[in-house]
A = this chain, B = another copy of it.
Amino acid sequence: MTTAKIDGVSVTTQANVYFDGKCVSHGITYPDGTKKSVGVVLPATLTFGTAAPEIMECVGGSCEYKLAGSDTWVHSGPGDKFSVPGNSKFDIRVTEAYHYICHYG
């Protein structure tokens, strides 16, 4: 079951554009101050760095990801989540599109 919508939040109108537009996200803030983002990665192979720990939740499409220190690409599809430590990085490769919610902390 994927999370199709998120209710009762504040949306930052300006998008975050990474890697020349291969990743675009919009920030959302919950009433309690919790911040997340909703975004999409377009076909590409990219390396993302993390500051805070992140949980990536797939809400559409799919990707393969490889965490720092691992040699294994892992598939992630709708409803799947994966965790990335803080101050780390991960590789992601996408062949169609990967729609996600990024949960921090």
Contacts and interface: CB of A to CB of B under 8 A. Distances in A.
A48 B30 CA distance: 33
Nearest to A38: B13
Contact of A17 (B11, B26, B42): B42
A14 B42 CA distance: 12
Interface residues of A, number: 31
A51 interface: no
Contact of A5 (B10, B17, B21): B10
A8 interface: yes
Interface string A1-23: 01111111111111101001110
A28 B9 CA distance: 10
